[in-house]
Amino acid sequence: MPVTKSPLRYPGGKTQLSAYVKEILNKNKISGTYIEPFAGGAGIAIDLLLSSTVKDIVINDYDSSIYAIWHAILHDTDKLISMISSVPFDYTSPNADTPSNMLSFWKKQKNIHERADKSKYSIENAFATLMLNRMNVSGVINGGPIGGKSQSGKYKVDSRFNKKTLITKIKNIAEQRDHIILYNLDANELINVITKSFDADNTFIFFDPPYFVQGKNLYMSFFNDEQHEVLAKNILSLENYYWITTYDHAPQISELYCSASKRYEYSLNYSANKRGKAFEYLFASPITKMPILNKMDMHII
């Protein structure tokens, strides 16, 4: 799996598509604005910005807890870093604390997340959510701790928590705050903002909605069938914009996007709930020129 420049681990994260998205941007001569309506960990967005592939990025997440993390990174950087620095353990210092104490810390953060003010500006919620993302299996916020509640597994709750690396990622992103636009909108609302505020000729949108089948098990914010249908209609209406949409390989999704002029299947390495490769759908707007990469086992459907 590729190393992400994002501080977040994300189930179904598409960082492994970063090189492919760069190919699309290059082929379509886009260097202006890159938008992720379902940002989550925003792995591709951060990579594109830090590599100067695009000038600006738009990060949007409807989940107020995930938004809170990004808001803290951009606008309360020093406080967030201070809170991270105060954590009594670190993967690089295996003897810094005992598994039982680390699990107690996990329980405290879980309790804070469940009871915290879910304001998108809450630093306490931001920190607790970030810590659960680092300490839970596959980064699933409402999941269990790495190593289990008995901490008898090979890996413990600190196995994905490296202070130095995490703080460096946060600093690198915060330094680019003037080139990051942050929203906390429903994706359909964001589409209205995009059509009114962003130039279609130099903007690229990567829609990565919650999985149709496993969404409710992986994300705090997920869609029902009707919401997937409304979103599909709104995405498909963006005929003059450059965009791609990725989805899990469900027959309902194939039906919703049956009118998409460009339809593909590609292989993806899973990291949540199951290991190995599986196929997903990828749809693109009529004007988007699409490179076909054999290494992704990608083909037209």
Q: Residue 285 maps to which CATH number? A: 3.40.50.150
User: Is 245 in contact with 235 (CB distance < 8 Å)?
Assistant: yes
Token readout for 51 is 């590599």
Shared domain for 38 and 108, answered yes or no, is no
Stretch 126-137: mean pLDDT: 96
- Helix, strand, or coil here: 90? strand
- What distance in Å separates the CA atoms of residue 156 and residue 147, rounded to the nearest whole number? 5
pLDDT at 215 (0 to 100):
42
Residues 180, 186: Cα–Cα separation, whole Å: 18
Looking at the structure, do residues 138 and 205 belong to the same domain, yes or no?
Answer: no
Buried b (16+ CB within 10 A) or exposed e, 149-181: eebeeeebbbebbbbeebbebbeebbeeeeebb
User: Are 229 and 250 members of one domain?
Assistant: yes
Q: Per 3-state DSSP, what percentage of the chain is helix, strand, and coil (rounded to 5)?
A: 45, 15, 40
Q: What is the mean pLDDT of residues 151-178?
A: 95
Confirm whether 179 is domain-assigned: no
CA distance readout (Å), 213 to 98, 251, 266, 279: 38, 10, 18, 14
Q: Tell me, what's the pLDDT at 294?
A: 65
Q: Which residue has the higher pLDDT, 7 or 114?
A: 7
What percent of the chain has a predicted confidence (pLDDT) above 90? Answer: 70
Q: Is residue 276 part of a domain?
A: yes
Same domain, 119 and 34: no
Q: Are residues 296 and 261 in the same domain?
A: yes
Burial class of 51 by CB neighbour count within 10 A (0 to 12, 13 to 18, 19+):
exposed
Q: Rounded mean pLDDT of 171-187? A: 97
What lies within 8 Å, CB to CB, of 215 at 6+ separation is 222, 223
> CB 95: neighbour CB atoms within 10 A?
6
Range of the domain at 162: 72-171
Mean predicted lDDT score pLDDT of the chain? 90
- Is 177 inside any structural domain? no
Q: Domain boundary at 102, 136, 171, which?
A: 171
156 is a domain residue: yes
Q: What is the pLDDT of residues 242-300, one digit of tens each?
A: 999 999 888 999 999 999 999 999 986 655 444 556 789 999 999 999 997 766 788 88
Tokens standing for 176?
């680019």
Residue-wise pLDDT for 16-25, tens only, equals 899 999 999 9
- Answer whether residue 171 shows pLDDT above 50: yes
- Count of the separate structural domains present in the chain: 2
Share of the chain above pLDDT 70, in %: 90
- Rounded distance, CA 25 to CA 129, Å? 32
Domain-ending residue, one of 171, 205, 224: 171
171, 193, 221: which is the final residue of a domain?
Answer: 171
Q: Is residue 296 part of a domain?
A: yes
Q: Are 295 and 266 in contact (CB under 8 A)?
A: no
Same domain, 193 and 295: yes
Distances in Å between the Cα of 270 and the Cα atoms of 72, 85, 138, 167, 282 are: 29, 31, 10, 26, 16
Dump pLDDT digits (tens) for 90-99: 988 876 788 8
**Same domain as 231, residue 89:** no
In a domain, 283, yes or no: yes
Same domain? 193 vs 275: yes
Question: Does the pLDDT value for residue 218 go beyond 70?
Answer: no
Q: Residue 219: pLDDT above 50? A: no
What mean pLDDT is predicted for residues 195-220? 79
d(CA 285, CA 206): 11
User: Is the full-model pTM beyond 0.85?
Assistant: yes
Residue 3 within any structural domain of the chain: no
Judge if 21 and 115 occupy the same domain.
Answer: no
In this structure, the answer to whether residues 291 and 192 fall within a common structural domain is yes
Which pLDDT score is estimated for 271? 52
CB atoms within 10 A of CB 104: 13
Are 154 and 190 contained in the same domain? no
5 falls within a domain: no
- Each residue's pLDDT tens digit, 5-45: 999 997 656 778 999 999 999 999 999 999 999 999 999 99
Judge if 199 and 273 occupy the same domain: yes
User: Which pLDDT belongs to residue 273?
Assistant: 47
Separation CA 248–CA 253 (nearest Å): 8
